[in-house]
Structure 1
C-alpha cells in the first residue's frame, strides 16, 4: 500500500501561498520550477511538476541551479573580474560581430 502524504497551506490576501516542504520534496521542486495544475470535474486538483517547454534546456537549467546553490552556499568565493582579464577577453573577441537573431547553421543545431 502506497504511503499518502498530506499538507496544507494558507492563501494570502493576494491569493498566493507557499508550497509546503513535503510537496516540494515529493515533486522534486526547486526555486523557479513551474507547477502544473490538473483540475478534475469533481473539483479535485492534482499538482505535478511542469515539464520544461520545448525551448527550455534542462542541462542549462541544472547548471544554473548548481551555480545558484553554490553562490548562495559560498558567497566568499565570489571575486571581482580584474581589468587585465577584461582586456585579454576584449583582445580575443572584441572584433567579433554577432547577430543574435541569425539562425545557427545546421551543423551547429
Structure 2
C-alpha cells in the first residue's frame, strides 16, 4: 500500500511560498538548492529537486559566453598587460597561498 502525504503552503503577495519541512526532507533540499517543475496537461504539477552538474556555474558560463562574443565582435579592443601592471599585481598577491578546492566556512556561504 502506497502512503501519500499531503501538505499545503500559502502564497505571499509576491507569489512566493515556503517549501514545507516534510517536502524539504523528502527531496533532501538544502539552502540554495534548485527546484524543478513539470506541468502536466491535466494541470498537475510535479515538484522535484533539480539535478545539477558538479562544477557547472550558470553565472560564470553566461559571463564567459559574453566575453567570447565580445572578443569575436571587437578583437581590436584586446590589449596586453604592461610589465608595470604585472609587477604591481604580483606585489599585491604574490605571497598569498590559496586552496581553491577548500570548503568555505559556514559564515561565507
TM-score by length of 2: 0.50
Structure 1 residue 2 displacement after superposition? 1.8
Matched, 1:19 2:33: no
Structure having the higher Rg: 2
Aligned partners of 2:7 and 2:19: how far apart in 1? 9
Alignment match, 2:32: 32
Distance 1:8 1:31, change over 3 A: same
Q: CA RMSD in A?
A: 2.7
| Structure 1: tracts of 5 or more residues without a match | 58-89, 97-109
Tell me which stretches of 4 or more aligned residues in structure 1 moved more than 2 Å: 53-57
**Equivalent position of 1:94 in the other structure:** 94
**1:52-82 superposed Cα distances (whole Å, 9 cap, x missing partner):** 046438xxxxxxxxxxxxxxxxxxxxxxxxx
Deviations 1:11-53 (A, max 9, x none): 0000000000010011000000000000000000000000004
Q: How many residue pairs end up in the alignment?
A: 63
TM-score normalised over the length of structure 1: 0.50
Q: 1:16, 1:46 → 2: CA distance?
A: 17
Partner of residue 68, structure 1: none
